[in-house]
Chains A and B, each alone.
Chain A
Amino acid sequence: MLRKCFIAVAIVAGTAQPLLAASGVNPEADRKAFVKYFTEKFPKLKLKDFVNGPYSMDEDLYKQWVAKEEFPPYEFTLEKGKKMLATPFKNGKTYADCFENKGVGIRQNYPKFDPKRGKVITLEVAVNECREANGEKPYNYKKGEMAAITAYMAYTSRGKPMSIKIPDDPRALAAYKKGEEFFYTRRGQFNFACSSCHVQMAGMHLRTEVLAPALGLMNALPVYRSKWGAVGTTSRRLTSCNSQVRATPLKPNDELYRDVEYFLSYMGNGLPISGPGARP
């Protein structure tokens, strides 16, 4: 009888399919295909170079970037962000009470999937949730204090490999899939998808700018843009990209933006965090 039980258990265990495989969603296979596509398209680049976006695409631009990094335009923003991370809230608590390792050297883990709430939490959302949990007003998602604190948090993770987890949970897989769909869906009057610029036209010029490949795109965020004259967040980049193709932007912390950040960040897994970046 016991022998029959063992056999039954072995049969069930052997045929049990992990949810990932059963659902047909395979983020790791997608990521490998993504990396293969871009490394074949740009054979002269080392994998880690992709996190520098357009600056790795062109020799002159690379020299400009090296010169910029000597006196980075985001330096004052970093000082502000460092101070903010250490400053207590009115109730005496700090960001250290919300984040692992006191918020230092953890950027590469975001976005993360929250199994209790069944949704993706970006670093920006986590910062504002920490603030609201401690009686403070949330920051504007696109610039100012949010840009400063996330820039500093990214800086403390520089060089660490992006490390996004997609647990074997149907809700996490669904969020990843929705993010993938958003990335490849054409929108706006100009009928552009994110992939139109960052996959099909990666490395090419759009007016005066060289379009960055999608691989490693999230690793450089948040980013100082010369066009903005300031550091802007991931939310700012997503909303402004949508506006540029004449699509009505969503709210900065919309579920779809969080999902596309989840998808694209996972694609950059293993590549080093280079944020905050500096771009034209």
Chain B
Amino acid sequence: MRNRFLIQLAVVLSVGGFVTAAIAASADDFKAAYAKAEAASKKALAMKTGWLTTTKELKAAKKAADAGKFDDAVKHAKEAEALANASIAQSEEQKKLWKDAVIR
């Protein structure tokens, strides 16, 4: 009885997982992810410390979204946001650290 219950539970959970995986990203998900990434990229560029790879990922996100591939588009947008945030962190860290490299 107990084993039967456990098997039924396992089946329900695995079906649930499959359904979850099958829920694709939507255009709205992409728009939200892209807006966050673009905002971070603009901040980095305004600091004059942007990275080329951030721009490349933003372009890839747009291209995937235009092709209706929103999973890919969201993935690229999140990568772009991560890169932009990394470039901002680098810039802020370097404001203090650059002096350590100076020849005196």
Contacts and interface: CB of A to CB of B under 8 A. Distances in A.
B48 A250 contact: yes
Contacts of B53: 189, 246
B51 to A, nearest CB: 5
Interface stretch (A104-112, A134-142, A180-188): A180-188
Most chain A CB within 10 A, of B48, B55, B97, B103, is at: B103
Interface in B59-104: 83, 86-87, 90-91, 94, 97-99, 101-104
B98 A248 contact: no
B102 A184 contact: yes
A248 B41 CA distance: 11
A185 B98 contact: yes
Contact of A247 (B50, B98, B102, B104): B50
Nearest to B100: A184
B98 A184 contact: yes
Contacts of B102: 180, 184
Contact of B48 (A193, A195, A256): A256
Contacts of A200: 101
Interface in A228-248: 243, 246-248
B94 A186 contact: yes
A23 B54 CA distance: 38
Contacts of B52: 188-189, 243, 246-248
Contacts of B50: 247-248
A250 B52 CA distance: 11
A181 B98 contact: yes
A37 interface: yes
A254 B45 CA distance: 13
Interface string A110-147: 00000000000000000000000000000000000000
Contact of A248 (B55, B86, B94, B97): B55
Most buried by B among A33, A187, A248: A248
A247 B103 contact: no
A200 B103 CA distance: 10
10 contacts: A30-B103, A181-B98, A186-B94, A187-B49, A187-B91, A188-B51, A189-B52, A193-B98, A199-B101, A247-B51
Given A33-B103, A181-B98, A189-B52, 5 more contacts: A184-B99, A187-B94, A200-B101, A246-B51, A248-B54
